Amino acid sequence: MSIKKPSKILAGALQRYENPKTTVLDFFGGLGVSFVMPGMTLFALLSVLACNETNMCKPTSLAELSWSFFKENTQTRAFVLPFVVYHGWLLWLVALYFILPADKVSGTTLRNGTKLLYPVNGNALVSYALLASMYGHYGRRPFIWIADNTLGLVVSSFLVATMQAILLYMLSFRAQVMLSVVGNSGNPIYDFFIGRELNPRIFGLDLKYFCELRPGIIGWTVLNICFAVKQYHSFGYITNSMWIVIISQILYALDSLWFESAVLTTMDITTEGFGWMLSMGDLCWLPAVYTIQARYLSFTPIVLSDVYCFFIAAMSVCSYLVFRLSNSQKNNFRSNPNSKISRNNKYLETKAGSKLLISGWWGLARHINYTGDWFLGLSQCLATGFGTPYTYFFSAYFLALLLHRNARDEHKCMQKYGNDWDKYCSIVKYKFIPYIY
């Protein structure tokens, strides 16, 4: 017995080291997330209910929603088939996750010194090939059905996201589970929202990594394609505004999947737990909210002037290049610092051992990739014209999201680097938009 006692103490100490208590809570803690969760759910549903072919996304459509409208559009039988279809979609993506050939890429080093392996085989092209086959065999019917049943699919994704979050919260209390450093506060509501377990895996499926890019990102573009088919079916042509929106968003999605391994170094994978926030955001919020522009254009065929169309297209391309080139510079510097390209970079070496880029794109702003990301989203909103405020919510929400992420990153870096971070900020003075903020 005397031999086992110290080993238990050592195991407990190791567990505490690997799973430190979360002391700094975002979103105003448990009380704040108690409002965020119903707020996100309500808005995801209202984004469809208040912006559809029936009410034409009028500025007053939200105020005109009535109880009879809710009853007519939320009958149980209207959700059964979308629920089945949504689960079929998830199973298809899970099958591709395991079946397609994949490069095994190591993630970042975990607190216990180990690294997890991730299959990199972004399967968007296979899914798009399936869509092309469906169109060739069934014509427009499946695409129009998806466009007409967006609400049922969004509700289904919400139910799956919430059930997944509940299950993972319960499973996170297993022994020897590595917890997130930001989701182990002891407040059950807050920890459920942020996520306790860092890398939940079931039967070899890394749920956080899988959900981060596949169901939501690919689903977003599939919905956009369906809305374009719907516009063609209704009016006999696809407008230049629709082309700008769907090409821009498909390019962004393909970029995410082509550079799939880059997600392994993001805060979502390295730091956040997989709780309701990411589960809901990946599965429900993204396809519900990010498709507002294409959904609006599917029943409002806006034709842009040649000059305005060129301006929006140029803005979209330039924004994408800022986003992609800045991310590529950072990824190359991190993964291959001794390459010819990386050796030309200037950097600040910190006492913590990290090197902070201070040249090229990263000499302009501390989150220059966010700049390109936001302006790319804004260009997609501008393509919808100015007939409704709903299509611009995406841009406003995305700006708030990026500013919040920026604040979290700055706080984290300040704690990690101390005086070196102050020195870095004196060199790279702007946070987000060069010469403005």
Same domain, 60 and 193: yes
Of the pLDDT bands very low, low, confident and very high (cuts 50, 70, 90), residue 267 is: confident
Region of residue 353 (left: phi > 0; alpha: psi -120 to 50; beta: else): left
Angle at the Cα of 232 from the Cα atoms of 227 and 233, rounded to 5 degrees: 95
CA angle 233, 239, 243 (to 5 degrees): 105
- Between the CA atoms of 155, 160, 163 and 166, what dihedral angle is there, to the nearest 10 degrees? -110
Please, which pLDDT band fits residue 73 given cuts at 50, 70 and 90? low
- Whether residues 343 and 412 share a domain: the answer is yes
Q: Are residues 252 and 350 in the same domain?
A: no
The pLDDT of residue 1: 41
Same domain, residue pair 371 and 411: yes
* For the chain, percent of residues with pLDDT exceeding 70: 92
Q: How many residues can be counted in the chain?
A: 437
Q: Determine the pLDDT at residue 109.
A: 86
Q: In this predicted structure, what is the pLDDT of residue 67?
A: 63
pLDDT at 4 over 50: no
Out of 303, 334, 363, a domain closes at: 303
**What pLDDT, on the 0 to 100 scale, is given for residue 2?**
41
pTM of the full structure? 0.89
Q: List the structure tokens of 315.
A: 């803005």
d(CA 51, CA 294): 11
What is the rounded CA–CA span in Å between residue 193 and residue 34?
9
- The pLDDT of residue 336 is above 80: no
pLDDT of residue 130: 77
Structural domain range at position 125: 4-303
Q: Do both 80 and 154 map to the same domain?
A: yes
Pairing relationship of beta strands 355-357 and 347-349 according to DSSP bridges: antiparallel
DSSP string, 66-83: -HHHHHHH--THHHHHHH
Contact (CB, 8 A) for 103 and 111: no
Distance between CA atoms of residues 285 and 280, nearest Å: 6
- The reply to whether 193 and 286 lie within a common domain is yes
Average pLDDT, the chain: 88
pLDDT of 85 reads 95
- Write the burial class of residue 71 (CB in 10 Å: 0-12 exposed, 13-18 middle, 19+ buried): exposed
pLDDT of residue 69: 63
Phi, psi of 149 (to 5 degrees): -115, 30
pLDDT tens digits, one per residue of 86-112: 999 999 999 989 988 888 999 988 988
Report residue 369 as tokens. Answer: 């990739």
Q: How confident is the model at residue 286 (pLDDT cuts 50, 70, 90)?
A: very high
Residue 261 and residue 135 share a domain: yes
C-alpha dist (Å) from residue 251 to 53, 116, 227, 306: 27, 29, 17, 22
272 with 194: CB under 8 angstroms? Answer: yes
* Weakest mean pLDDT among 152-166, 255-269, 290-304: 255-269
Query: Is there a single domain that holds both residue 287 and residue 351?
Result: no
Indicate the number of domains in the chain.
2
Q: Same domain, yes or no, for 252 and 332? A: no
Reported as a single tens digit per residue, the pLDDT across 7-43 is 444 444 445 557 899 988 888 899 999 999 999 999 9
pLDDT at 217 over 60: yes
Is the dihedral angle over the CA atoms 237, 242, 244, 249 positive or is it negative?
A: negative
* Rounded mean pLDDT, 355-372: 93
